Amino acid sequence: MREQIGIVVQLQEIEIKINKIKAALEVIPEKMSRLDKAIRDAEQGLEMKKSLVDELKKKYRLNESDYQANLSMLGKSQEKLAAVKTNKEYQSILKEIDDIKAKNSRVEDEMLKSLDVIEITERETVTLRKEFLETKDQIDREKEIIGKKIEQSEMDLAELDEKRGSISKNIDKELMLKYNIVKGLTKGTAIAPALDSICRGCDMNIPPQMYNDLQRFDSIKFCPHCQRIIYWGKA
């Protein structure tokens, strides 16, 4: 029985390693999803800034078009001024000219403001693009590392699965059945050592007689508290 217990302990160690690898692999899709979202968010921020620059330039071109149209109107009004015959007409055209000049002055102010905003926004876009490329480069490296980790983990799992199958063949069928039953009940370790009359699976005291019987390794014993298979810790 001592040898059988030793094999079961080895099996449990292998299964613990397998479970750790699987648990690590299970969180990878969520991590990859977060990394992809980080890239999308950074890219979206960059695109929004680019769109803002495009809108500002479009607005500037419209103002520029209005400015040129007003200049054309101003020229025509000034031409008319030379041909007026009455003072009333003269005053009317003068007012028209003043209105056009005032309108163009406002448009010119808007154009200057737009140029300032465009310049600032373009600088921000350059900075944002640099940050985006740095973020993307960093995330790409992280994804590459994760990819290699997945590859290595899958290789480790295959190797451990092979070891588990090989070791399982050497375990008594009844002991293997009890091990699997307890493993299902405890949702974790199915076998634990007992040291100084304490089950190391649940840290509870076990009866003195049971602890003494464990040292003979002549039968399977279960912890009366956590129901794990227990063995003398010096096995």
Q: Which domain holds residue 177?
A: 173-232
* pLDDT attached to residue 234: 64
Residue 100 lies in a domain: yes
3-state secondary structure the chain: CHHHHHHHHHHHHHHHHHHHHHHHHHCHHHHHHHHHHHHHHHHHHHHHHHHHHHHHHHHHHHHHHHHHHHHHHHHHHHHHHCCCCCHHHHHHHHHHHHHHHHHHHHHHHHHHHHHHHHHHHHHHHHHHHHHHHHHHHHHHHHHHHHHHHHHHHHHHHHHHHHHHHHHHCCCCHHHHHHHHHHHHHHCCCCEEEEECCEECCCCEECCHHHHHHHCCCCCCEECCCCCCEEEECCC
What does the pLDDT read at residue 2?
85
Both 159 and 203 in one domain: the answer is: no
Name the stretches of the chain with pLDDT < 70.
234-235
Last residue of a domain, one of 110, 130, 165: 165
Domain of 145, CATH number, reads 1.10.287.1490
> Is 40 a member of any domain?
yes
Number of domains in the chain: 2
pLDDT single digits (tens) 177-233 = 999 999 988 877 899 999 999 999 999 999 999 999 998 888 889 999 999 999 998
Residue 183 shares a structural domain with residue 81: no
Taking residue 51's Cβ as centre, other Cβ atoms within 10 Å add up to 10
The answer to whether position 13 is within a domain reads: no
pLDDT of residue 188: 77
* pLDDT at position 219: 87
Residues 41 and 110 in one domain: yes
Q: Last residue of a domain, which of 134, 165, 196? A: 165
Residue 142 shares a structural domain with residue 205: no
Look at residue 235 in the predicted model and tell me its pLDDT.
Answer: 46
User: Is 2 inside any structural domain?
Assistant: no
Q: Is residue 16 situated within a structural domain?
A: no
- pTM exceeds 0.85 for this model: no
